Amino acid sequence: MLSLQDLRLPAGPGRGETQHFDVLMELGDCHAALGELEQAAACYEEAADLAPGRADPHVGLGVIALQDERPDDAERCFQAAAGRDADCAEAYGGLAMVRQQREDYAGAFDMHLKCLELDTDNLVALLGLFQMSCQMGTFAKVIHYLELYLQRHPGDTSVLFCLATLYAREGQLGAARHCLLSVLALEPDKAEARDMLRQVERKIAPALAPDARSA
Amino acid sequence: MTDVRDIDGGPRVSVVLLAEEPDASTAAALRSALGQSYRNLEVLVAGAGAHELARHAGGGDPPVRPMPGEGSRAAAVDRAARAAAGQYVAYLDGRSAWHRGHVRTLVDALEASYDCEAAYSDVYRTLYRPTAGGGREVLGKVVHCRRDFDRFFLLHRDYIPLPSLLHRRGVLDRTGPLAEGTGRRLAWDLCRRLACFTDLLHVPAVTAETYVPDHDADPGDGLDGEAIRRVLAAEPPRPWPKLPALSVLLAPEGDGDELGTRAERLCRRLRVPCRLYLAAPRADAVGAAGRLVPVSVRPSWPWDARIDKAVRACDGDCVAILPPRGRTTAAQLTAAYHALLYHALPDEAVLPAPPRRGAWGVVVRRRQLLRARNAWPALPIRRALEADGLRMRLPRAEELPFAFDRALAAARAQEAEGNFRQAAQRYDALAREHGHDALLAEAAARSLFREGRCDDRALERCRRVNADRPTVAALLLEARLLKRNQRTEDALRLLACAKQLLDWQPERDRPSC
């Protein structure tokens, strides 16, 4: 039997607390995507006024400042976002970009890591971390995050390829070969994967040869 | 005699504006009344702020009359509505405003209707944050109401806000004065009364806004005990042409000391208008309160004799006889009453629950009960009804009230569990069966959007809603779908419309989206 509590009115999503904010954020995102940075900034600013405690408008403003090549403003915006929400992964991702632009690779690496701690699915941070690792020559941490990401997105060939590169650099040739075979299973025409597989297998062959002889 | 028709042939409409305080909000509500595209109006300003607000109205077209006086909100509204010279009455308060076409939309609908004496439209429930200057920073506008008239649903839920309502002036002569102490449930009291005399015509267009501050814990359909109790206790003068009145009879075996408690509990939970007749030796000690009517009986009288006396005392068109012991819930009683009114054959009565040993109850038409008792006075009531040819049965599943609401609750539960595709299918099926197209198309679109792989189907439903009656929520949803499909410029256009609707002040012309 239906209770009175079940007879609540079918309304829209909630009371509409965030509706105006959502519209402004979406407007900002669309303007930004179309390169209309001034209009986008105006929308994000209005959203920030409407919901002063929210981090996302400041992330939007930070991204615009980055695109505008104003790293100091961008940093201020991302700091403001992180100050409002310590768990805002995008804020740390933005700060990483700022540091990257300033060629502060160690700082960027830390920020990418922080971003990935909060959001292991963040592909931008993951690839940023990969780039920073290549710059700095340290791969252990990035391998861990790439593996985590691939557990959730096993079909992402670009990340699989990055991981294969890192395994190869670390000398884990078997793991690298396995990744590359997976990439080619999904994208048989990916030439760079085929080339790299050939190189990896060439390196593996001498190591396998004594075993083969004994067999 | 006042001429109530204007030069265009439109009937005069009296607007009752409740001005408890002559503040900026009430002034804005008044502006929205004076700015109506429909011009044959008079505005009656009721409440403590009546004189001051009317003085500021100036002009004289439409005329603004203050209707001050002592008493509660209900008394002020009642006084003004009964003083109305118009053929129709509409309502406003400081928490609401009309769009420019509100009155015309509702008058046109009622003038075209043969049998409805009242109509209501959809409204935006506008959530806002008060600003330092006394203004409102709008946080969101969610369509409220958007539901066709369902008498039983209205009896159970306060879903028609006062500013959305327009009714013929004449119906007030039958509904009686509004109940005191109903607070913000005043509209519910009025609509429940109206529903006893007429169907309420739903006009599916947003024509008004009610303003709810963001710190207000009650969004409008929550429960506030005392006001609800007063609404439920009130009823208009009988007879009611649209709702056969119900009398509920309770007769305990023995002294029935616990019966007062049982009756009170039932009074609290039973939302259909009815009177409860308590037939017990010490019923007078419980006393008449609200809808409870004591019926004195002798301790030696058996249960059937007590019920017989209560039947003679009651005046309902339908009678619910509760078993002498055991629990009959308000929901069981409501379901049996609903089945009797809308589904039972003329020779059928409906059992609220399966009979147990010695505990038997029934909902039956009173004239049939009286006929059976007159024909078979020596038999127990149940046997007398059977002997008189009445068949008694339980309500069937398809006869239960709130079929739409039960199905909607099931669809929403599926959506909440993440079964988005199934939820969307249910919403679509509901729309085919019950109508409510805009509401259900939007819900289906939302589910399909969340499903993530049916954007074309979601877009088709969104377009249907937005092409006809765009709402902020539907525009936002369609824009998100377009954006996800890389159609950013189209998304931008819809978002701009949504923004216009959010920024729109009701007294201005509606933005053209």
Share of chain B above pLDDT 70, in %: 94
Among B210, B476, B478, B504, which would you mutate to test the A interface (most chain A Cβ atoms within 10 Å of its Cβ)? B476
Please report the DSSP string for B381-418 in residue order: HHHHHHHTT-EEEPPPGGGSS-HHHHHHHHHHHHHHTT
> How many whole angstroms separate alpha carbon B56 and alpha carbon B17?
14
Q: How far is it, in rounded angstroms, from Cα B401 to Cα B332?
A: 10
Q: How far is B440 from chain A (nearest CA, A)?
A: 9
Interface size A-B, in CB pairs within 8 Å, comes to 120
Give this complex's ipTM. Answer: 0.82
| Three-state SS at A184 | helix
Residue with token string 């419980």 = B286
- Please tell me the predicted confidence (pLDDT) of residue B223: 52
- The answer to whether A6 contacts chain B (CB < 8 Å) is yes
Mean pLDDT of B93-108: 94
Determine the average pLDDT of the residues in B4-28: 80
pLDDT class of A12 with cuts at 50, 70, 90 = very low
Cβ of A53 under 8 Å from any chain B Cβ?
no
C-alpha to C-alpha distance for B30 and B56, rounded to whole angstroms: 10
Q: Which residue of A has its CA nearest to B413?
A: A6
Q: Which burial class, exposed, middle or buried, applies to B58 when counting CB atoms under 10 A from its CB (0-12, 13-18, 19+)?
A: exposed
For all residues of chain B together, what is the average pLDDT?
89
List Cα–Cα distances, B462 to B350, B428, B486, in angstroms: 43, 13, 17
Q: How far apart, in whole angstroms, are the C-alpha atoms of residue B175 and residue A99?
A: 73
pLDDT of A131 above 80:
yes
State the pLDDT at residue B286.
65
In chain A, the percentage of residues whose pLDDT exceeds 90 is 41
**Domain B246-399 is of which CATH architecture?**
Alpha-Beta Complex (3.90)
- Report the distance separating Cα B67 and Cα B65, nearest Å: 6
Contacts with A18 from chain B: Cβ below 8 Å = 139-140
Q: How far apart are the first and last CA of chain B?
A: 45
Q: Does A52 touch chain B (CB under 8 A)?
A: no
* Pick from A9, A13, A16: CB nearest B139: A16
Which DSSP category does B125 fall into? Answer: E
Q: What is the pLDDT of residues B222-251, one digit of tens each?
A: 457 889 889 998 999 999 999 999 999 988
Distance from CA of A187 to the nearest CA of B (A): 23
Tens of pLDDT, residues B306-361: 999 999 999 999 999 998 877 788 999 999 999 999 999 999 999 999 988 778 89
- Tally Cβ neighbours within 10 Å of residue A106: 12
Find the closest chain B residue to A28 by CA distance. Answer: B492
Predicted confidence at residue A208, as pLDDT, reads 60
The Cα of A165 is separated from the nearest Cα of chain B by a number of Å equal to 32
CB atoms within 10 A of CB A126: 25
Share of chain A above pLDDT 70, in %: 89
pLDDT of residue A6: 46
Q: Which residues contact B501 (CB under 8 A, 6 or more apart)?
A: B141, B470, B471, B472, B475, B511, B513
Query: Which chain A residues are closer than 8 Å to B147 by Cβ?
Result: 9-10
Mutation test of the interface with chain A: which of B492, B493, B504, choosing the one with the most A Cβ atoms within 10 A? B492
Q: For residue range B247-306, list pLDDT tens digits in order.
A: 999 887 655 556 567 777 787 788 999 999 988 887 776 665 678 888 988 888 899 999
Tell me which of B191, B495, B503 to substitute to probe the interface with A (most A C-beta atoms closer than 10 Å): B495
- Helix count and strand count (H, E) for chain B: 20, 16
Please give the Cα distance from B43 to A61 (Å, whole number). Answer: 49
Q: In chain B, which residues have their Cβ closer than 8 Å to the Cβ of A2?
A: 331, 400-402, 405-406, 409
Of A2, A20, A30, the CB nearest to B138: A20
Q: Between chains, do A12 and B495 touch, taking CB under 8 Å as contact?
A: no
Choose the closest CB to B142 out of A15, A29, A33. Answer: A15
B126 pairs with which residues across the strands?
A: B141, B211
B237 backbone dihedrals φ, ψ, rounded to 5°: -60, 145
pLDDT higher than 80, residue B82:
yes
**Which residues are CB-contacts of B64 (< 8 A; sequence separation ≥ 6)?**
B30, B34, B42, B43, B45, B54, B57
Please give the Cα distance from B20 to B17 (Å, whole number).
9
Q: Which residues, in sequence order, are bridge partners of residue A112?
A: none
Length of chain B: 513
State yes or no: pLDDT of B2 exceeds 90.
no
How buried is B440 (Cβ within 10 angstroms: 0-12 exposed, 13-18 middle, 19+ buried)?
Answer: buried
**Domains B246-399 and B403-501 equal at CATH topology level:** no
pLDDT, tens digit (0-9, with 9 covering 90-100), for B196-207: 999 999 999 999
The per-residue b/e assignment along B398-435, b for 16 or more CB within 10 angstroms, e otherwise, is: ebbbbbbbbbbbebbebbeeebbbbbbbbbbebbeebe
Nearest to A19 among B139, B271, B446 (CB): B139
**In this structure, are residues B339 and B350 in contact, taking their beta carbons and an 8 Å threshold?**
yes
CB A119 within 8 A of CB A88: no
Contact criterion met (CB < 8 Å) for B492 and A34: yes
Cβ atoms within 10 Å of B237's Cβ, excluding its own: 12
Interchain proximity B140–A10, CB inside 8 Å: no
What band does A43 get if pLDDT is binned at 50, 70 and 90?
A: very high
Residue of A nearest to B335 (CA): A1
Which residues, in sequence order, are CB contacts of B338 under 8 Å at separation 6+?
A: B152, B395, B399, B400, B401
Q: What is the pLDDT of residues B461-487, one digit of tens each?
A: 999 989 888 899 999 999 999 999 999
Question: Which tokens sit at A190?
Answer: 């990916």
Hey, are the CB atoms on B495 and A30 less than 8 Å from each other?
Answer: yes
Contact between B255 and B299 under an 8 Å Cβ cutoff? The reply is: yes
Which residues does chain A have within 8 Å of residue B471's beta carbon, measured at their own beta carbons? 12
Measure in Å the smallest separation between the Cα of A110 and chain B Cα atoms: 31
Query: String of b and e for A152-189 (b: at least 16 CB within 10 Å)?
Result: eeeebbebbbbbbbbbbeeebbebbbbbbbbbbeebee
Mutation for testing the B interface, residue in A3, A5, A8, A54 having most B CBs under 10 Å: A8
Q: Mind telling me how many Å the CA of B123 is from chain A's nearest CA?
A: 11
State the pLDDT at residue A4: 42
Supply angle C-alpha B443, B444, B450, rounded to 5: 90
Q: What's the CATH fold of domain B403-501? A: 1.25.40
Locate all alpha helices (DSSP H) within chain A, ordered by sequence.
Answer: 19-33, 37-50, 56-67, 71-84, 89-101, 105-118, 123-136, 140-152, 157-169, 173-186, 191-214
Cβ-Cβ contacts under 8 Å for A75 (sequence gap 6 or more):
A62, A95, A98
CB-nearest partner of A16 from B127, B137, B405: B127
The CA distance from B181 to B186, in Å, is: 8
Q: What is the pLDDT of residue B288?
A: 59
Domain residue spans of chain B: 13-123+149-209+219-233, 246-399, 403-501
| Residues of chain A contacting B271 with CB distance shorter than 8 Å | 4
Instruction: Please say whether the structural domain B13-123+149-209+219-233 has been given the CATH code 3.90.550.10.
Output: yes
pLDDT tens for B362-375 read: 999 999 999 999 99
Amino acid residing at B58:
G
Instruction: Work out the mean pLDDT of chain A and round it to a whole number.
Output: 84
| Residue with more model confidence, B193 or B47 | B193
Helix (H, G, I), strand (E, B) or coil at B363: strand
The whole-angstrom separation of Cα B165 and Cα B200 is 9
User: Does pLDDT of A7 surpass 50?
Assistant: no
Chain-chain contact of B502 with A20 (C-beta, under 8 angstroms): yes
**Torsion sign (Cα): A93, A94, A99, A102:** positive
Q: Which residue of B has its CA nearest to A40?
A: B492
